[in-house]
Amino acid sequence: MMALTLQKTVETLHQWIDQNWSTLDQTELKTTRETVDSLYNKLLSEIDHTDNSDHLLEAINYELTHFFLPIFCVMKIYQRLIWLNPSNLFYYEWFTDYLLQYGPDWEEEANALIELYMKEDFQNACDFSQKIEQVKDFENK
């Protein structure tokens, strides 16, 4: 049941985000923001608690079709997928491809991860992937 919820949450979140926000009045805007925030929190919790890789893949595929989730959510999905399948080379490749879409922001981490999984050092690759920060603090660099 949990897995179905993950996909449902992703779709519901997309519906909330994909509306025309400019037509909303202040009260509706506040409610919409609160609902979206609440759905993000629900999604992050579901990602943490799912043990079903297929449902994580469905969420990724949905995201790749609609491009609406914030980076930290998508990264968390990939990290969970890798944690559940530490020796699946494709998941590392997909994750690093995703990271590299954002230019130099995660380039260092992506390259380090590529180096590990190309050597098939899956335990270290898995551990390293879990430590990649989902939010970058560019102020302190």
Q: Where are the domains of the chain?
A: 2-12+26-133
102 DSSP 8-state letter: T
Amino acid at 129: S
What is the per-residue pLDDT for 139?
52
Is the pLDDT reported for residue 1 higher than 50? no
Contact assessment for residue 86 and residue 126, using Cβ atoms and an 8 Å cutoff: yes
Across 38-47, average pLDDT: 95
Contact assessment for residue 125 and residue 81, using Cβ atoms and an 8 Å cutoff: no
Across 26-49, average pLDDT: 96
Is the pLDDT reported for residue 136 higher than 80? no
User: What's the CA dihedral at 101, 105, 109, 111 to 10 degrees?
Assistant: 50
Q: How confident is the model at residue 135 (pLDDT cuts 50, 70, 90)?
A: confident
Across 71-78, average pLDDT: 94
Residue 110 CA to residue 68 CA, distance in Å, equals: 22
